[in-house]
Amino acid sequence: MRWTVEHVAAVAPSPNQFAAGDEASDVRRWAGAGHAGDLLWGTYRGGQAEPYDTWVDIGPVHRDGAEPKSRCSCPSRKVPCKHSLALLLLWVRHQLAEGLDADIPVAVSAWSSRHRGAVAAEPITDPARLPAGPGTATDVDIGGDSQVGSSPDPPPVEPPGTNGRDDRVERMASGLGELDRWLHDRVRSGLSDPALAKYATWDHLAARLVDAQAGALANRVRRMAGLVGASPDWHGELLAEMAMLHLLARGGRTLATLPDPLADTLAMAVGWQVRQADVLGGVPESDVWDVVGRSDTREDRIVVRRTWLRGRTSGRLAMALCFAAYRQSLDVSMPVGSSFDADVHRYPGPSLRVLVGERRPDTVVAQRPAPPGGNLATACHQLGDVLAAEPWAEHVALTVRAALTRSGGRWVLADEHGALGCCAGPRALAAVLCESGGRPADMTVEWTPAGLIPLTVHLDDRVVDVGPLADPSFVDAA
C-alpha cells in the first residue's frame, strides 16, 4: 500500500500541524535522510541550534497489529510532531534517498525491532484483517503516554539481542561522564569566562544530555543559564548548581553499586523515564487524600503543576505531577481543599511522586481542614529527612503554623523557634497577609533551595489557594 499526501494529512492531529509539517518538508533542511523497507529516517536542521533526529516506521501495513509509529528528539508534545509529518511528506513525494536494509542506521533498526515484536514476523492471509491505512492521529506513537496530566515516557532504544536497560545505562553513563568533564573544565577556567554569558554554551550542553537520555539534567542546565548575571550573588548560586550537577553525574555513573531505592530515585533525577504502566502495576496505597497545596512552574515551553496530597489516615505526603504544553489545559480534577478516596501508586525509591489510580467517587468523604501545622523546628526536621534520602530534591511541601513578617530586609515565616525566608511573589505575600491578618496561621508551604513559597492558607472556615501560577492564562484553570 503506497501512501499519499492525503494519508499524511489524515495522520496529522490538526490542519495547522499538517501545515507546519509541510513547511518543514524542505529537503534542504534535512541531512542523512533516507528510507529502506518500511523505515524512514533523517535529521532536521532548522533554525534551532540542535538538529532533531526523526524516525518513522510506516508499517508493515500488511501485518497484524502494526501501525505507523514515529520517534523524534524534538520537545514537541504533538502526536505526531511536524518533523515526523515532514519526513512522511518527503517520502510520499519521492524526495528521500532509497537504500537497502543494510543502509538502515543501527539505532533506527533497533527501535523498530523493539516496538514491532514477534507479531511482525507472521503475515496475514485474511484480507478482512488488513488495516485500512492511517486514519487518525492515534495511529502514530512518538514513544510514550504523552497526555495532559501525565508524565511523558519516551521508550528506550534497545539494540536487537541485547539488554535495552543495560544499553541505556551505558549511554547515560557516557553522557554523565562528558557532563562531569565539562564541569571540571568550567571550574578550572573560572566563572568569569565570557562563554558562560552565552545561552548557546548551556543549550549545547543541554542538547548533549538529551541525546544521552538525561533530560532532567538538561532542564537543570537550561535553568542555570538564567542565573548568570541575574543577581549580585550569581557566582555562588551558579557554583551551588554546578556542585549539584557534579553530585548527580558522579552518582548516575555508579547506579549499579547503590542500594536499589537510592539507585531508583537517582536514576529518575538524572532523567530515567519510568513507564506509567510499571508504576500502576505496583502495590497501591489506599487512603482518603486531602489536597493541601498546588504549585505551577514553567520549564521551557511546558507548564508543570505539582499537586500536594496528604493521606488522612497515614499522614504521608504525596505529589502528583501534570504537564501542559501550548494550548493544553492543566488537570483541574484535584482542587486545593478537596478530598477524595483513592489508590495512589508511588514511583520507585523514596521519591514523593505518585500516580493517582482508582478513585472511589461513591464514597462519602467528610470534609475537614488540613492537619494543624507544626512549628518551624519540626518542619526543618521533616525537611532534613527528605533531603537525606533525596539530596537533589528541589520542592518539598510542609505544613507549618507561622506568621508572615519582615526580618533583615526580607519576608520570612516566623514562630517562637525561629524564621525561614520566603521567596514568593507579591501576589502570594499579599494574599497571605490579607487572609491571616499578620497573625500566625496554618499554612502549607513549598520549600525550595531559594526559600519557602506559601501555597495554601488553612483557615477555620475555608482553604485559600495562594500558590504560584506559571502563566496568567492558567488562572481560570486553577
What lies within 8 Å, CB to CB, of 180 at 6+ separation is 246, 249, 250, 253
Residues making up the chain, counted from first to last: 478
Q: In what order do the strands lie in the sheet with 410-415?
A: 418-421, 410-415, 396-407, 441-448, 451-458, 463-465
Residue 108 has pLDDT above 70, yes or no: yes
What lies within 8 Å, CB to CB, of 129 at 6+ separation is 64
Q: Where are the domains of the chain?
A: 5-139, 164-270, 376-474
Percent of the chain at pLDDT exceeding 70: 81
Q: Which of 17-31, 161-175, 254-268 has the lowest mean pLDDT?
A: 161-175
Q: Is residue 212 classed as helix, strand or coil in its secondary structure?
A: coil
Residue 220 has pLDDT above 50, yes or no: yes
Q: What is the spatial distance between Cα 29 and Cα 196, in angstroms, rounded to a whole number?
A: 29
Q: What is the spatial distance between Cα 281 and Cα 290, in angstroms, rounded to a whole number?
A: 23
Does 219 or 118 have the greater pLDDT score?
A: 219
CB 471 within 8 A of CB 303: yes
Residue 103 has pLDDT above 80, yes or no: no
pLDDT at 160: 36
Q: What is the spatial distance between Cα 252 and Cα 209, in angstroms, rounded to a whole number?
A: 13
Residue 173 has pLDDT above 90, yes or no: no
pLDDT at 143: 32
Query: For 312-327, what is the mean pLDDT?
Result: 86
Which tens digit of pLDDT belongs to each residue from 449-467?
889 999 999 998 889 999 9
CB 278 within 8 A of CB 202: no
318: pLDDT confidence band, cut at 50, 70 and 90? very high
Residue 473 has pLDDT above 60, yes or no: no
C-alpha cell at 387: 533531603
What lies within 8 Å, CB to CB, of 359 at 6+ separation is 340, 341, 342, 343
pLDDT at 167: 63
pLDDT at 419: 93
pLDDT at 76: 73
For residue 427, is it left (φ>0), alpha (ψ between -120 and 50) or beta? alpha
Q: What is the spatial distance between Cα 331 and Cα 286, in angstroms, rounded to a whole number?
A: 21
What lies within 8 Å, CB to CB, of 458 at 6+ separation is 292, 369, 370, 373, 399, 441, 442, 443, 444
Q: What is the spatial distance between Cα 228 and Cα 241, in angstroms, rounded to a whole number?
A: 12
Q: What is the residue-averaged pLDDT of the chain?
A: 79
Residue 170 has pLDDT above 80, yes or no: no
Q: What is the spatial distance between Cα 80 and Cα 143, in angstroms, rounded to a whole number?
A: 10
pLDDT at 303: 87
Using a 10 angstrom Cβ sphere, with 0-12 exposed, 13-18 middle and 19 or more buried, the burial of residue 277 is: exposed
pLDDT at 198: 85
Query: For 181-201, what is the mean pLDDT?
Result: 87
Percent of the chain at pLDDT exceeding 90: 24
- From 293, 331, 294, 292, select the one nearest 312 (Cα to Cα): 292
pLDDT at 133: 37
Q: What is the spatial distance between Cα 111 and Cα 168, in angstroms, rounded to a whole number?
A: 12
In 321-466, alpha helices (H): 376-389, 426-436
CA 366 to chain centre: 34
148: pLDDT confidence band, cut at 50, 70 and 90? very low
β-strand partners of 187: none
